[in-house]
Chains A and B, each alone.
Chain A
Amino acid sequence: MGLDRRGFVKIVMGGVAGTLFTPVIWQSLDDVSIWSQNWGWIPRLNKGEVKAKSALSKLCPAGCAVKVKTVGGLPFAAIGNTANPMSKGGVCPICTGGAQLMYSPARVKSPMKKVGEGKYEAIKWEEAEAMLVEKLTPLKGQDGKIAAISGDETGTANEVLSAMLAGLGSTGFYVMPGEMFTATKGVKLMGGNGQPGFDIEGSDLVLMIGADALDSWGTTVANQKAFAATRPTGGAATAQYIYAGPVLNNTASVCDKWVAVPPTAMATFALALANQLIAAGAVSSAADFGDYKALVAKYTPEAFEAATGLKADVLKDLVAKIKAAKAPLIVAGASFGQGAGALDFVAAASLNVLLGRVGQKGGMTLLGAAPKAIASAADRENAKDAGSFLASVATGKATPGALLIYEANPAFALPQAAEMAKAMGNIGFKVSFSTYMDETAALADLILPAPHPYERFDDAMNPYGVSKPTYLAGKPVVSKPVADCKDPVDVLLAAAAKLGLSLGFDTYADVIKAKATALGGDFDALAAGGIWNGEAKGGALTLGAGALAKAVPVKTDEKAVALAPVTRLAYGTASLATPPANLVTLRDTELVGKDLFVQMNGATAKKLGVAKGNKVKLTSGSGEIKARVHVSEGVAANTVAVLLGFGRSAWDEFTKGKGENVYKILTVSDEAGTGLKVWAGSTVTVAKV
């Protein structure tokens, strides 16, 4: 067979043309872009009407007033509520991902009872509630046999819990540590009563001593809004913000000045500043001014330099700024929102008294006790701390038979966490009312799933930091919770009724409505995103000289460095592990894989003989953690900073086993003069491993 050139070309062309006429090829090629975009495992979007519903998102400690956006009734995003005067349209990073948290893999899906070490069995609500009543019945009427720990600072649920305990003959109502607890004790030492408030909005010079007010302290979003209002983009700033604390944190990053004070020298800094203010002519009409003046005389610029490693010029500069300001405000707090002593609070807050700023616009205020919904409930200012309680459980001084844990995670988020978790083992019956499978729920005998904030009624009375009495309330956004959960308060009220105790309400919703009415507010308006405000009070506070006189200066071991735990709201709170949607905000200088970083400045690193990337062990009296070194100049002298809230042993794949729990190495000591437990001045030794 011969093939000439023409035949060759014919065959080639014919073959190509023939193939091109087959529609199969073209159709399937064209479909590729569609297929490859829509594989079966790629989730489809939800359809339906988009709406925005008001909600009180109590995922962050202060609670954000948000609008939850829903599509076809399913929440998908949270935006700020511009109508709410507190959040003014802002949302904190945690509440931003609120919808996603409804479906957190860590959610407790149904009631569960413990059937062995680390083993649980899903049970029906009837059985769970019957078990609760059955276990509480024999303990009724015996003081100290039933205890409760609440991790919610603001909810009226606390009234129900404490009233229920009181009705059952127990006084064992405890709260998790926080600024509110310490500050209220501090106010008492200054001869006052109630929770302090700080009018950041009205101030033109805000000196934050410890308080991370623009990120993780107090009503974060309201503080951020107040700050932002003084900083019009492209315009002149109308207020100065100064941060004094151990770490150049988010708050300090936008402040006009960061004063790098080690955590062990916070009170010294405040009193040295008082010393210089008095030297510059500050006088107070407070009765104890003489004693105070004599007391702060010890806190000379030299003493300040020795304690902080800073130059005394810093104080001079501050004094000049404060004197020039019309409405200076000192915001007192611990740099990680807890663990400071009442005296630390007094030392900082006394500056407001010294400057005559109590009860003034842009000054420090006092919030009186709010009317209660349940008369027999405990007063907030008499709250007892959960840490001391569990410490006495550990030593056998307290022998409760049952412990109710409401929205709290004491097994993780108390100092010396390992001991606390162990102490819980001494309690026969532990019930955890929790939305998520946290470390405490994992130790409980009975886990009763609580609804997500979008699925429940809840309220917030005086979130810590507000300058005037403030009340927020919210109702469910969705018609049905995504897990088989019940409102813990409803469960408690039903149990109380079965135990023969009537608190006057059947549901939490009714309690909240009664609370709103007691305040003179309107629940429906509140639930629609409104707010109730009362009037702030001043009050004749002393300078707290008597209490401060008992303060013992922190002695530091030569080998040890101060430990500054760091909180960042986006990474979670004491009762919430980092939410999945927030994980991406973590920096690779804070956590890489499972390794947590310890931050220190170059001088400290040199002194400790460690370098960037080194693996080190941080040891305190109560335990040790491992971390890697990151050298950052945003840390005060002789101080190491580590993120708080990692090293989870429960929760989900997003957080479990990442980093280490810094609570484990926070060492508790008794504050001289007040007997309060403090741990903000913890020290550690650092060694290479």
Chain B
Amino acid sequence: MKAKEFNIKWGMVIDLDKCTGCGACMTACQVENNIAPMVDASNKLRTLSWMLVYELSNKKAAPDAEIAYLPRPCMQCGNPTCVPVCPVIATDKNEEGGIVSQIYPRCIGCRYCMAACPYHARYFNWEDPIFPKGMEKTLSPNTSVRPRGVVEKCNFCHTRLMKAKDKARQEGGNPEALADGAYMPACAEVCPTGAISFGDIKNPEHKVHELAKGENAYRLLEKLGLAPQVYYVSKREWVRKLGDNYAATGKAGAEKKHS
């Protein structure tokens, strides 16, 4: 299958050598996307975290141990495996920019898309979004609150794209050629070390255009052919090796143990 191509390709380049794993991106994401705080957030198999920071380990014993943190938004795959499986077209990749949409009032919650996504980027809304009393006053105006029973995921803070385009129109600019930085998802905006770069990967005027082509840039599970729009960068070889399975070449494979 060929990846779906658009003139604009919104993408991220995440520098894993800069990510301290502080969690600000995750919190900013929860806040921007109106995800109700979970009383037991320690059951990771039930939490909603559109942005999730994974901990990677070089598997060496102390004192030679190294760790790295890997923030995982939705990859907005060029060839998304979740889109064709949806029985009700509740998710699609049909808009300039290549963001994979999720239509909450359409979703029936069958979770087929979750079974399809190897990045675990999709989350099922297990419970109704109940906020502590009064906290609903801090709802972001950018994302509707979803009922229980639907699947949701990162959409690169799509409302921000709409707003950036509106702003460009009002200011007489071209909404289809936004300046670098005019549109930023919440996680990229808040990251204190600037580990997350964001922009149009096809636009040479955007920083990510070159960064995605860097010698240490790679994508997760490239061999599966999903063509993600999220790139990672690391100078550490062991980190890059954990980006894909290289059993065929005798290199790092899947971890066997929970870490």
Interface residues of chain A, those whose CB is within 8 Å of chain B, are 33-34, 36-39, 41-48, 50, 71, 74-77, 79-80, 87, 90-93, 96-97, 99-100, 102-105, 214-215, 220-221, 224-225, 227-228, 231, 233-234, 248, 250-251, 253-254, 258-260, 309-310, 482, 568-570, 580-589, 591-593, 601-603, 632-637, 652-654
Complex: A499 Cα to B129 Cα, angstroms:
50
B132 within 8 A of A: yes
B13 within 8 A of A: yes
Whose C-beta in chain A lies nearest to the C-beta of B13? A233
Which of B2-10, B73-81, B135-143, B243-251 is the contact stretch?
A: B135-143
Q: Given A221-B192, A482-B134, do A77 and B140 touch, yes or no (CB 8 Å)?
A: yes
Complex: A466 Cα to B233 Cα, angstroms:
31
**Are A42's CB and B37's CB within 8 A?**
no
B210 to chain A, nearest CB (A): 7
B175 within 8 A of A: no
**Are B189's CB and A79's CB within 8 A?**
yes
Interface string of B46-73 (1 = CB under 8 A from A): 0111000101010111111111110000
Chain A residues near B105: list those with CB within 8 A: 33-34, 36-37
Whose C-beta in chain A lies nearest to the C-beta of B215? A234
Interface size on B, residues (CB 8 A): 81
**Are B57's CB and A103's CB within 8 A?**
no
User: CB within 8 Å of A: which of B3-57?
Assistant: 13, 15, 17-24, 26-28, 30-32, 34-35, 37-44, 47-49, 53, 55, 57
Q: Given A250-B21, A636-B63, do A103 and B138 touch, yes or no (CB 8 Å)?
A: yes
Complex: A495 Cα to B60 Cα, angstroms:
60
Chain B residues near A233: list those with CB within 8 A: 13, 15, 18, 194-195, 197, 211, 214, 233
Q: Given A233-B211, A585-B26, A633-B60, do A74 and B193 touch, yes or no (CB 8 Å)?
A: no
Interface centre among B21, B26, B53 (most CB of A within 10 A): B21
Please, could you name 14 A-B residue pairs with CB atoms under 8 Å apart, sorted by A? A37-B144, A76-B138, A76-B140, A77-B31, A77-B138, A90-B191, A103-B138, A228-B194, A233-B197, A248-B66, A593-B40, A601-B61, A601-B65, A603-B61
A568 to chain B, nearest CB (A): 8
**Are A225's CB and B193's CB within 8 A?**
yes
B259 within 8 A of A: yes
Whose C-beta in chain B lies nearest to the C-beta of A71? B141
* Interface of chain B, main secondary structure: loop
Q: Given A77-B31, A233-B13, A584-B49, do A103 and B134 touch, yes or no (CB 8 Å)?
A: yes
Chain B residues near A583: list those with CB within 8 A: 37-38, 41
B106 within 8 A of A: yes
**Are A259's CB and B38's CB within 8 A?**
no
B192 to chain A, nearest CB (A): 3
**Are B141's CB and A593's CB within 8 A?**
no
Complex: A50 Cα to B18 Cα, angstroms:
31
Complex: A36 Cα to B109 Cα, angstroms:
12
**Are B137's CB and A103's CB within 8 A?**
yes
Complex: A80 Cα to B60 Cα, angstroms:
37
Chain A residues near B66: list those with CB within 8 A: 248, 253, 258
Besides A103-B134, A637-B62, 15 more A-B contacts (Cβ < 8 Å) are A39-B128, A41-B130, A45-B145, A214-B20, A233-B13, A233-B197, A250-B22, A253-B68, A581-B31, A581-B37, A584-B47, A585-B26, A585-B27, A633-B60, A634-B67
Chain A residues near B242: list those with CB within 8 A: none
A-B CB proximity, top 6 nearest? A585-B23, A90-B192, A580-B37, A633-B65, A260-B63, A583-B41
Complex: A43 Cα to B143 Cα, angstroms:
12
Complex: A487 Cα to B35 Cα, angstroms:
31
Chain A residues near B18: list those with CB within 8 A: 227-228, 231, 233, 254
Complex: A653 Cα to B38 Cα, angstroms:
10
**Are A654's CB and B62's CB within 8 A?**
no
**Are A93's CB and B42's CB within 8 A?**
no
User: CB within 8 Å of A: which of B130-159?
Assistant: 130-141, 144-147, 149
Whose C-beta in chain B lies nearest to the C-beta of A602? B61
**Are A588's CB and B141's CB within 8 A?**
no
B124 to chain A, nearest CB (A): 15
Chain B residues near A34: list those with CB within 8 A: 105
Complex: A591 Cα to B190 Cα, angstroms:
26
Q: Which of A77, A234, A586, A587 contacts B186 (CB 8 A)?
A: A77
**Are B134's CB and A634's CB within 8 A?**
no
A317 to chain B, nearest CB (A): 12
